[in-house]
């Protein structure tokens, strides 16, 4: 397994990565999620041995890798633009890492890899004849060719358009799983992180601010900024948080709660800060909240509504497509606790 301990990387005294710690069990996929410039690529390069740490360690299965050069770490790197050799066919691009390692039976391995990434029949094509998504699949196959013990992916989908990115994110997960490779994946896109990874590390200004299983991080972001970066649409505090949280307490879902589980649906704990998804509030004639419609807009899946609720203010909500509330109309709303998160830092000790 990969272990990064208190890693700091400086560029001319300026810290790009600050005391970052994370671990990645063998066979899992970890996404490092953070905004542009927060130090993701630097972290990845330090793990690969391309940037020397100012302090801290990178180790694999307990062995400290400082002093082990990049090509001896057994890691593979893949970038946003797959950096294929344009004069070589797809098959030769994929076979390249095998050739430089003088591995036998590379033709068979290339065929396996082409099948793995869904490009059977592409062996003799030149990169210039491929779509962006196909090029990234070839780059992925090439990265996997030499059976790296760790695959390092630096925003591998960022150069693709939205629809393709979504499909390839799902494929990437399937491919990396099928290959059985451990992977560290950096991205600024939370949807990509959720589509690909088992674990997530949220990075900000060079620091890892939260690290854990995907759903644990999603259910309890450490602070408001992290919640917004993870894709929650708003963070409520004080009375607004308390009102919306309490409104979830009477939702039908609370009947399914495990007895004795934390009273997250009881509405009794003062929540401090609560992160809400757009769909946490939905129009429901039996809901406990009353609001006035500020705007309503039809989207392919639902009607997106902005409502003004006493004691909460203006907030997003959703309605089914067969309801299109008019501006100014008074509506009732229900809240769904499964689409909210209590901000961990706002809770007192022992309250979770």
Residue ranges that bind ligand ADP, judged by CB under 6 A: 11, 16, 34, 36-42
Give the range of 33-41, 216-224, 233-241, 317-325 binding Mg ion by CB under 5 A: 33-41
**Please, what is the minimum distance in Å from the beta carbon of residue 28 to ligand ADP?**
21
23: Cβ contacts below 8 Å, ≥ 6 apart: 1, 2, 3, 4
**Please, what is the minimum distance in Å from the beta carbon of residue 2 to ligand ADP?**
18
Residue from 17, 18, 20, 41 in contact with Mg ion (CB under 5 A): 41
Instruction: Tell me which of ligand ADP, Mg ion, none is bound by residue 236, counting a contact when its beta carbon lies within the kind-specific cut-off of 5 to 8 angstroms.
Output: none
Is residue 187 a contact residue for Mg ion (CB under 5 A)?
Answer: no
**Please, what is the minimum distance in Å from the beta carbon of residue 102 to ligand ADP?**
33
Give the range of 37-45, 139-147, 227-235, 330-338 binding Mg ion by CB under 5 A: 37-45
- CB contact at 8 A, 251 and 332: no
Residue with structure tokens 């690969």?
48
Q: How many other β-carbons are positioned within 10 Å of the β-carbon of residue 124? A: 10
**41/302 with CB nearer Mg ion:** 41
Q: How many other β-carbons are positioned within 10 Å of the β-carbon of residue 191? A: 13
**156/287 with CB nearer Mg ion:** 156
CA distance 162 to 325: 30
Q: How many residues does the chain have?
A: 352
**Please, what is the minimum distance in Å from the beta carbon of residue 146 to ligand ADP?**
25
**Please, what is the minimum distance in Å from the beta carbon of residue 229 to ligand ADP?**
12
**Please, what is the minimum distance in Å from the beta carbon of residue 39 to Mg ion?**
8
**28/41 with CB nearer ligand ADP:** 41
The DSSP code for 86 is T
Instruction: Tell me which of Mg ion, ligand ADP, none is bound by residue 311, counting a contact when its beta carbon lies within the kind-specific cut-off of 5 to 8 angstroms.
Output: none
Least Cα distance to 226 among 197, 205, 248 occurs for: 205
**34/49 with CB nearer ligand ADP:** 34
Instruction: Tell me which of Mg ion, ligand ADP, none is bound by residue 38, counting a contact when its beta carbon lies within the kind-specific cut-off of 5 to 8 angstroms.
Output: ligand ADP
**11/85 with CB nearer ligand ADP:** 11
**41/106 with CB nearer Mg ion:** 41
Q: Calculate ∠ Cα 291-295-299, nearest 5°.
A: 115
**79/194 with CB nearer Mg ion:** 79
Please spell the DSSP secondary structure of 286-326, one letter per residue: T-SEEEEEEEEEE-SSSEEEEEEETTTEEEEEEE-TT--PP
**Please, what is the minimum distance in Å from the beta carbon of residue 81 to Mg ion?**
12
**184/309 with CB nearer Mg ion:** 184
Report CA-CA distances (Å) from 274 to 117, 231, 257, 349.
41, 13, 19, 17
Q: How many other β-carbons are positioned within 10 Å of the β-carbon of residue 178? A: 12
- CB contact at 8 A, 214 and 194: yes
**Please, what is the minimum distance in Å from the beta carbon of residue 48 to ligand ADP?**
12
Burial class (CB in 10 A: 0-12, 13-18, 19+), 338: middle
Is residue 302 a contact residue for Mg ion (CB under 5 A)?
Answer: no
Least Cα distance to 248 among 331, 319, 337, 308 occurs for: 337
Give the range of 5-13, 36-44, 191-199, 322-330 binding Mg ion by CB under 5 A: 36-44
Q: Which residues bind Mg ion (CB under 5 A)?
A: 41
């Amino acid at each position: 397994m990969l272990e990064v301990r208190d890693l700091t990387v400086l560029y001319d005294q300026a810290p790009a990565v600050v005391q970052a710690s994370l671990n990645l069990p063998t066979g899992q996929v970890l996404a490092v999620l953070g905004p542009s410039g927060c130090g993701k690529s630097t972290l990845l390069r330090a793990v690969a041995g391309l940037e020397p740490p100012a302090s801290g360690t990178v180790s694999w299965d307990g062995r400290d890798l400082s002093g082990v050069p990049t090509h001896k770490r057994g890691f593979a790197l893949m970038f946003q633009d797959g950096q294929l050799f344009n004069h070589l066919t797809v098959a030769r691009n994929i076979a390249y890492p095998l050739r430089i390692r003088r591995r036998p039976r590379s033709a068979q391995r290339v065929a396996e890899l082409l099948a793995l990434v869904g490009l059977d029949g592409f062996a003799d094509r030149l990169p210039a004849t491929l779509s962006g998504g196909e090029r990234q699949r070839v780059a992925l196959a090439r990265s996997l060719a030499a059976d790296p013990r760790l695959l390092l992916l630096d925003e591998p989908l960022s150069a693709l358009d939205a629809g393709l990115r979504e499909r390839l994110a799902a494929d990437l997960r399937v491919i990396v799983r099928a290959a059985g490779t451990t992977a560290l994946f950096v991205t600024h896109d939370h949807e990509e992180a959720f589509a690909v990874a088992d674990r997530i590390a949220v990075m900000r200004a060079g620091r890892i601010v939260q690290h854990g299983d995907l759903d644990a991080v999603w259910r309890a972001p450490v602070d408001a900024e992290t919640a917004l970066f993870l894709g929650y649409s708003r963070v409520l505090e004080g009375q607004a948080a308390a009102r919306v949280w309490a409104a979830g307490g009477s939702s039908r879902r609370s009947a399914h709660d495990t007895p004795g589980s934390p009273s997250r649906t009881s509405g009794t704990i003062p929540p401090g800060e609560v992160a809400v998804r757009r769909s946490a509030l939905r129009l429901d004639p039996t809901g406990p909240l009353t609001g006035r419609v500020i705007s309503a807009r039809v989207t392919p899946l639902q009607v997106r509504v902005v409502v003004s609720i006493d004691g909460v203010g203006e907030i997003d909500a959703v309605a089914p497509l067969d309801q299109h509330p008019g501006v100014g109309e008074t509506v009732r709303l229900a809240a769904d606790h499964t689409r909210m998160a209590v901000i961990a830092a706002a809770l007192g000790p022992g309250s979770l």
